[in-house]
Amino acid sequence: MTEATADTTEKRITVGTGASAREIAVLHRPAKKKAAGPALVWLGGYRSDMSGTKAMEIEALAGEMGLSAIRFDYSGHGASGGAFRDGTISRWLEEAIAVLDTIKPKRVVLIGSSMGGWIALRLVQELKRRKKAPKVDGIVLVAPAPDFTAELIEPHLTEAQRHSLSERGYFEEASEYSPEPNIYTRDLIEDGRRNLVMTGIIETGCPVHILQGMKDPDVPYQHALKLLEFLPADDVVVTLIRDGDHRLSRPQDIEKLKAAARNLIMNDQILG
């Protein structure tokens, strides 16, 4: 496993059974003994991994504040097992829940980047249904892409892509971030329809801070503004970064991310 600090514990957990079983790589930085704050949980984006700049900076922030930090790779990503083409929102959500079940934090702040924003919002919904689950104290969404399969992919499919989905079960698209193309499967798109969150009011039960670049070529800033319509307005802060791209990994972007997370942690509503 990569990018573990001296204070970080490496874990591998098995999620699923039989042919669906896959090994998930987890990095956990425990809180200092007297720290009473929430654990910071990083939820990465599509084809990203837990060794990225933003994930590492969130762990560093946790270290500065004496808090726990949890990072993991979805199946088919980074250090985790499983095939990427088997990935769906439901599958990756199941893994996020399994990680929390293993670490057992009492309180969390969820930080979701791109697709991780979708996972974060679904995770909140699922945790609310469970009798024993960590309390979600706050959410930071970075260039959030909830419902991206239905909102950002399906409406723009070409005839060739539709044909590939029908005949091959997937289509490929050139990536700006990797020499390997992005792969979108029929299973991912069909499962996405079963996990839509922008269909009614999203009851997070906590403050939400959205960071969104206005020059994001992958998730237009209008998508973040649309998401805002489904979130309780009095609990949400939106920061639009005029020259920001999708990654929001520049030093000035990282400072905004850390400030957003720090403000949620220090909020009187959280520390009560």
The reported pLDDT for the residue numbered 270 is 47
Q: Specify the length of the chain in residues.
A: 272
Look at the chain and report how many structural domains it folds into: 1
Residue 103 neighbours by CB distance under 10 Å: 20
Which residues, at least 6 apart from 236, have a Cβ–Cβ distance to it below 8 Å?
207, 208, 209, 210, 228
Q: How confident is the model at residue 269 (pLDDT cuts 50, 70, 90)?
A: very low
Residues 127 and 184: their CA atoms lie apart, in Å, by 28
Range name among 28-32, 140-144, 224-228, 229-233 with the lowest pLDDT average = 229-233
4 lies in some domain: no
Taking the model in full, what pTM does it have? Answer: 0.94
- Among 5, 11, 253, smallest CA distance to 140 is for 253
Residue 5 neighbours by CB distance under 10 Å: 12
Three-state DSSP class for residue 194 = coil
178 lies in some domain: no
Residue 183 neighbours by CB distance under 10 Å: 16
Residues 41 and 59: their CA atoms lie apart, in Å, by 9
By DSSP bridging, strand 39-43 and strand 9-15 are: unpaired
Which residues, at least 6 apart from 52, have a Cβ–Cβ distance to it below 8 Å?
44, 249
DSSP for 135-171, written as a single string: EEEEEEEES--TTHIIIIIGGG--HHHHHHHHHHSEE
19 lies in some domain: yes
Question: What tens digit of pLDDT does each residue of 69-126 get?
Answer: 999 999 999 999 999 999 999 999 999 999 999 999 999 999 999 999 999 999 999 9
Residues 72 and 116: their CA atoms lie apart, in Å, by 12
166 lies in some domain: no
Question: What tens digit of pLDDT does each residue of 1-39 get?
Answer: 345 556 889 999 999 999 999 999 999 999 987 667 999
182 lies in some domain: no
Residue 188 neighbours by CB distance under 10 Å: 21
48 lies in some domain: yes
Which residues, at least 6 apart from 121, have a Cβ–Cβ distance to it below 8 Å?
112, 139, 144, 146, 197, 202, 204
> Measuring CA to CA, how many Å separate 239 from each of 142, 146, 176, 213?
10, 17, 24, 8
Question: What tens digit of pLDDT does each residue of 193-215 get?
Answer: 999 999 999 999 999 999 999 99
Question: What tens digit of pLDDT does each residue of 155-190 get?
Answer: 999 999 999 999 999 999 988 888 888 999 999 999
227 lies in some domain: yes
CATH number for the domain spanning 38: value is 3.40.50.1820
Whether 249 and 53 have beta carbons less than 8 Å apart is answered as yes
Residues 93 and 89: their CA atoms lie apart, in Å, by 6
Three-state DSSP class for residue 237 = strand
263 lies in some domain: yes
The token duo for 17 is: 């059974």
* Distance of alpha carbon 229 from the chain centroid: 20
* Containing structural domain, residue 55: 9-146+203-267
